[in-house]
Amino acid sequence: MLAQALLVFQNVTGSWGLGVIMLTILMRVAILPLTIRQTKAMHEMQRLQPKIKEIQQKYKDDKKKQQEELLKFYSEHKFNPLGGCLPLVLQMPVFIALFSVLKEKTKTQLKEQAVTVPVLAKVGVALTTAKFMGIGLGTSAAMLVKAKTPILGLIPNFILIGLMVGSQYLHNKTMEGSDQSQAKMMNFMLIMMGYLAYIFPAGLIIYWVTSNIVAVIERYLILKFSPRGEPAKQGATK
């Protein structure tokens, strides 16, 4: 299904790179209802944060009681602290599938795939050898460095790595205020994300950069046109 969608988008745009971008946008549109729910859940977390901190401070010496009170508080406000994870989870199968298409394969694997899944084999060969804005979609910066590519040949891939880290940082910043500890952890993960962008095929990084940019725009628009509730008062519950 992924291969067929990429093939359709490539036929429409004439570019495999644009095909990956269009696939990413389609994926983001498909999960938009969940993204809206995620964004509202994070905004609700920000609204409830003063009371949550009050409960954590009040029962800081009794972790069991603290958890009980937090669960009771979440239940009273019909809030699920894990509700924001679903859009990311749903994107992972697409990310993994795209990675499987782009990863290097032996001649034997290509022959087997050509027999069992001809469309996937066709897209895989075309995608891994295609270029977009001077970047080989099936090539990683690590592969180029290993092949002792001249510095000028490395620049497009390292610009893409910079876009990956920058877009991820911007994405993380849009979540600050809803869960500070999570946002700080994700900022710490930027180093790891940079390393993954270094070793992953460029086509996969284009998918992730596009997804980050679209997510930032979605969050801005959702919050702009959503009503904002008043912060929970610290004395709201006993």
Chain center to CA of 210: 9
Task: For residue 17, count other CB atoms closer than 10 A to its CB.
Answer: 19
DSSP sequence for 176-201: TTT-HHHHHHHHHTHHHHHHHHHHS-
DSSP secondary structure of 94-111: HHHHHHHHHS---HHHHH
Residues 6 or more apart in contact with residue 198 via CB below 8 angstroms: 140, 141, 142, 161
Q: What are the tens digits of pLDDT across the range 175-231?
A: 655 455 565 677 677 888 899 999 999 999 999 999 999 989 988 888 787 665 444
Once rounded to an integer, what is the mean pLDDT over residues 107-117?
54
Tokens at residue 90, please? 């749903």
**With left for phi above 0 and alpha for psi between -120 and 50, is residue 134 left, alpha or beta?**
left
Q: Which residue has the higher pLDDT, 64 or 148?
A: 148
Neighbours of 213 (CB within 10 A): 19
- What is the chain's mean pLDDT, rounded? 78
Closest to 27 measured CA to CA, from 50, 2, 58: 2
Give the integer Cα–Cα distance in Å for 180 and 130.
Answer: 41
pLDDT at residue 7 tops 80 = yes
The yes-or-no verdict on residue 80 having pLDDT over 50 is: yes
What's the CA gap between 135 and 140, in Å, rounded?
9
Q: What is the pLDDT of residues 12-21, one digit of tens each?
A: 988 999 999 9
